[in-house]
């Protein structure tokens, strides 16, 4: 079933509803309300990570596994690749140190193997985090709201996207009002 397309009076497409909350407690209680109402495409916005917000949003446990896999892959690639590089270089370019066999004395290859493992794990952690978050992103409709800019300072918001199955301009607004929003506005698709 195709979702209805909501438009504002000026004819712009509606991105969703943005509701402001007073503090972290009302934000997290409202997040629980939105979560329990069964919404999927919604988000909270706070100037800092709010304690246990992942539980209030019902997303706990979703982020760790893909990130851990990415980092495990990074660690494995770095360490195995790093070791093989040294093994191949020593086998190929024959340097005899202390009379040791060029391709069997593996102990002295460990530091570089370790460092490269760490390096690629770190790449996986930060770039994986950004990729799973859909960043970098040039623009987002929420930035069209002037009020939203203060979320980087001291304001707390919940945004519910119009694309969500359960979205309805009236009832969603009502739900956020009941949850204690101090200000509610409609955000256009930028």
Window 153-182: residues binding another protein (CB under 8 A): 153-154
Beta bridge partners of 160: 17, 42
Number of alpha helices (DSSP H) and beta strands (DSSP E) in the chain: 5, 4
Window 31-90: residues binding another protein (CB under 8 A): 31-32, 43-54, 56-57, 59, 62-64, 67-68, 71, 85-86, 89-90
Per-residue burial over 121-153, b if 16 or more Cβ lie within 10 Å, else e, is beebeeebeeeeeeeeeeeebbebbeebeebee
Neighbours of 100 (CB within 10 A): 13
Q: Toward another protein, which CB reaches closer, 14 or 71?
A: 71
Say whether residue 26 binds another protein (CB under 8 A). yes
Alpha-carbon distances of 117 from 64, 66, 70, 111, 176, rounded to whole Å? 20, 18, 13, 10, 47
d(CA 39, CA 26): 18
Q: Which tokens sit at 79?
A: 């360490």
Say whether residue 24 binds another protein (CB under 8 A). yes
Window 88-127: residues binding another protein (CB under 8 A): 89-90, 92-93, 95, 97-98, 100, 105, 108-109, 111-112, 114-116, 118-119, 121-123, 125-126
d(CA 96, CA 89): 12
Q: Toward another protein, which CB reaches closer, 14 or 158?
A: 158
Q: Toward another protein, which CB reaches closer, 74 or 175?
A: 74
Say whether residue 145 binds another protein (CB under 8 A). no
CB of 83 to another protein, least distance (A): 10
């Amino acid at each position: 079933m195709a979702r209805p397309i909501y438009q504002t009076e000026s004819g712009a497409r509606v991105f969703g509803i943005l509701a402001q909350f007073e503090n972290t407690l009302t934000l997290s209680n409202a997040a629980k309300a939105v979560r329990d109402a069964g919404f999927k495409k919604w988000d909270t916005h706070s100037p800092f990570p709010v304690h246990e917000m992942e539980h209030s949003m019902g997303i706990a446990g979703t982020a760790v596994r893909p990130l851990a896999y990415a980092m495990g892959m990074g660690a494995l690639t770095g360490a195995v690749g790093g070791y093989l590089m040294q093994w191949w270089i020593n086998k190929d370019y024959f340097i005899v140190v202390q009379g040791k066999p060029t391709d069997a004395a593996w102990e002295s290859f460990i530091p570089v193997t370790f460092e490269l493992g760490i390096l690629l794990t770190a790449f996986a952690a930060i770039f994986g985090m950004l990729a799973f978050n859909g960043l970098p992103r040039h623009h987002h409709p929420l930035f069209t709201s002037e009020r939203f800019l203060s979320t980087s300072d001291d304001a707390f918001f919940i945004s519910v996207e119009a694309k969500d199955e359960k979205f309805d301009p009236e009832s969603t607004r009502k739900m956020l009002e009941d949850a204690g929003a101090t200000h509610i506005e409609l955000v256009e698709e930028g």
